[in-house]
Amino acid sequence: MRKVLLFIALFPLLALAQQLSSPDGKYSVAIDGMTYHVTYNHKVIVEKSRLGVDIDNRLFESALAVPRGENNDWCSDLELKKVEHSSADTTWTPLYGENARIRDRYNQMTLHYEKGSNGQGVVSEGYDKRKYYAMDIIVRAYNEGIAFRYHFPETANSLFLHIKGEQTSFAFPEGTQAWYEEWAQGPYDKRPLKGEWFESERPLLLQLPGGTYVALLEAAMKDYARGKFRLKRDNELQVAMYDCADIISPYDTPWRVIMAAERPVDLINNKEIILNLNAPCALTDTKFIKPGKAFRSGKLTKEGIFNSIDYCNQFGFDYVELDAGWYGPEGKVSSDARKVIETRDFTMPEVCAYAKSKGIGVWVYVNQRALYRQLDELLPLYKQWGISGIKFGFVQIGNQQWSTWLHHAVAKCAEYGIMVDIHDEYRPTGLSRTYPNLLTQEGIRGNEEMPDADHNTLLPFTRYLCGPADYTLCYFNSRVKNTKGHQLAMAAVYYSPLQFYLWYDNPFVDQGEAELKYWKDCPTVFDESIALDGIPGEYIIQARRSGNEWFVGAMTNNEARTVIIPTDFLDDGKYIVEIYNDDPTLDTRTKVSSKTIKMKAGNPITLQLQPRGGAALHFTAIR
């Protein structure tokens, strides 16, 4: 059911601040000229801050004899001409995800600005600057957060604009702390909004002096430059674009998103606002898109790959992946991704044929150097071979050119029935709703860097707010800093439709450990997801439902912890619960206990988590 209400304000109230509230009334945003502020639960969470973009159109204006005047602030003389209000309430079904149905409910306000005359009126014969220069600010108030973007309407001559940067800022009260991270695979550092500060990644998690948590995010970043956050002054952040952007109207900039919560896990439970801010699925054929579990073949020999395929078949994995090196040194122009390098003892058609005979799909790693030069040749060839997906490696990210190329490449892969996993610094902004063949991406400090448990328990409140991540789950590798129970729980805590398991391990490395049944049972996509409890960097408890079964993961930081798993999310009735938890007293290789209990829904479960530990639980209803 969709309900849309629309009315247009054309009266003197344009001189007053324009206000918009979320359907539940918890969020409110007020815009006055080119400034705004946001309240949540009747408390100001973003103080008076700036809106606007920096535009330098000197060449265009010179051609049309437009005098610039002394004021170089492009937004300074924008005049509010009209305000439109609307609302929407729809529910949509994603192809796959963390929830089977997603509600998209918001109130919207569109502010239409035109370029003021600035005392100069009509600049030249037949030319009125206002007809060429117009900008809208579109604001949405969801129960999950506030989002706004800049829209440049269509003009008769398809106006070209050179955007140098954004003036968009976020001012916070004195004493606000932020989890600062300089690059997508970097470590986090909690620091105040002052002092040493270059640029911080997004999503950016903050905690206000009163305890409220705020997250700043970006959604629907397509043909634009990536945004980060820099300090404009003490306690005020500003969007820092990687580089300028050249656009032609009509055009929408990415959404800037503000979320708040008293309980930090509610940021996790409300993160689907990012998908709602993206366009619906653009694909007519989605039958080839199949989320699943993957195993990397560490040995790029025929024997090694075939052993990996056999292991995938035995363990229950869906895909085998051939990583860097199968077509030659990935960083060399001479490496040709259209064929296996001559020094290898296999061909790709025979690998795909053997994998198919075992019911296993094949993913291949291809560096962007080859993708950029050969994509149009690779895709029909890979389709002929029977390749399921491509893992994009070392992608260029940040500026408008590479953002646009990357997203066009994802769309082109869909035309050939090929799924995508983007590695290295790319972070999602919700494009997987529009192109669901983009299953996952890295953009995370995962097991390639072997982070500690403090970092791992922060990720659900930071990086995972913007979308799935290819963390590459390890288990037996000796470099892992955390317990086996901690790694085991990641299957439920960390969402990725394409989930890699046993990264860095060899085929048949397990010795029948009972707890690995959890990884076999737990799917990679779900019907319902609920973050139950947690504090950033301390612990997280996440529950996910698939059909009538629930999977729960609990992870603690470097400290030992007693956690209480609430079970009021279960339907009434009795359940069998398989519980896997670290037990250092066991004389086993993994020191993970496995036990099964019976319980009634609503009865909490208390667990002792070891330092750097975790626990995994599987609930099955007793019928």
Question: What distance, in Å, lies between the first and last C-alpha atoms of the chain?
Answer: 34
Average pLDDT over residues 117-122: 41
Print burial letters for 162-195: b (CB count within 10 Å at least 16), e (below 16).
ebebbbbbbbbbeebebbbbeebbeebeeeebee
Average pLDDT over residues 144-157: 89
Average pLDDT over residues 122-141: 69
Q: Using one digit for the tens of pLDDT, what is the confidence trace for 318-335?
A: 999 999 999 999 989 999
Cα gap 128→120, rounded to integer Å = 10
Cβ proximity of 53 and 166 under 8 Å: yes
Per DSSP, 194 falls in state S
Quickly state the pLDDT bin for 118 (edges 50, 70, 90).
very low
Print burial letters for 6-21: b (CB count within 10 Å at least 16), e (below 16).
eeeeeeeeeeeebebb
Closest to 333 (Cα-Cα) out of 294, 290, 295, 369: 369
> What pLDDT, on a 0 to 100 scale, did the predictor assign at position 288?
98
Print burial letters for 32-51: b (CB count within 10 Å at least 16), e (below 16).
ebbbbbbbbeeeebbbebbb
Q: Using one digit for the tens of pLDDT, what is the confidence trace for 250-262?
A: 999 999 999 999 9
Quickly state the pLDDT bin for 160 (edges 50, 70, 90).
confident
> What pLDDT, on a 0 to 100 scale, did the predictor assign at position 157?
59
pLDDT exceeds 70 at position 440: yes
Both tokens of 273, joined, read 């606002």
> What pLDDT, on a 0 to 100 scale, did the predictor assign at position 124?
40
Average pLDDT over residues 504-516: 96
> What pLDDT, on a 0 to 100 scale, did the predictor assign at position 61?
58
Q: Using one digit for the tens of pLDDT, what is the confidence trace for 70-103?
A: 456 889 889 999 999 999 999 999 999 999 999 9
Quickly state the pLDDT bin for 115 (edges 50, 70, 90).
confident
Report the chain's mean pLDDT, rounded to a whole number. Answer: 93
pLDDT exceeds 80 at position 69: no
Cα gap 31→50, rounded to integer Å = 10
Decide: helix, strand or coil at residue 32. strand
Q: Using one digit for the tens of pLDDT, what is the confidence trace for 175-206?
A: 999 999 999 999 999 999 999 999 999 999 99
pLDDT exceeds 80 at position 574: yes
> What pLDDT, on a 0 to 100 scale, did the predictor assign at position 155?
75
Cβ proximity of 580 and 565 under 8 Å: no
Q: Which residue has the higher pLDDT, 192 or 17?
A: 192
> What pLDDT, on a 0 to 100 scale, did the predictor assign at position 1?
43
pLDDT exceeds 80 at position 239: yes
Place of tokens 């969709």: 2
pLDDT exceeds 70 at position 10: no
Quickly state the pLDDT bin for 388 (edges 50, 70, 90).
very high
Question: Can you spell out the DSSP letters for 271-340?
Answer: TTHHHHTSPPP--S--TT---EEEEEESS-SHHHHHHHHHHHHHHT-SEEEE-TTTTS-TT-TT--TTS-
> What pLDDT, on a 0 to 100 scale, did the predictor assign at position 16?
76
Average pLDDT over residues 133-139: 93
Quickly state the pLDDT bin for 159 (edges 50, 70, 90).
confident
Q: Which pTM value belongs to this model?
A: 0.94
pLDDT exceeds 90 at position 343: yes
Neighbours of 243 (CB within 10 A): 15
Average pLDDT over residues 207-220: 98
Quickly state the pLDDT bin for 8 (edges 50, 70, 90).
very low
Whole-angstrom CA distances from 317 to 401, 461, 486, 524 are 36, 28, 21, 11
pLDDT exceeds 60 at position 67: no
Residues of the chain above pLDDT 90, percent: 89
pLDDT exceeds 70 at position 122: no
Cβ proximity of 239 and 54 under 8 Å: no
Residues of the chain above pLDDT 70, percent: 92
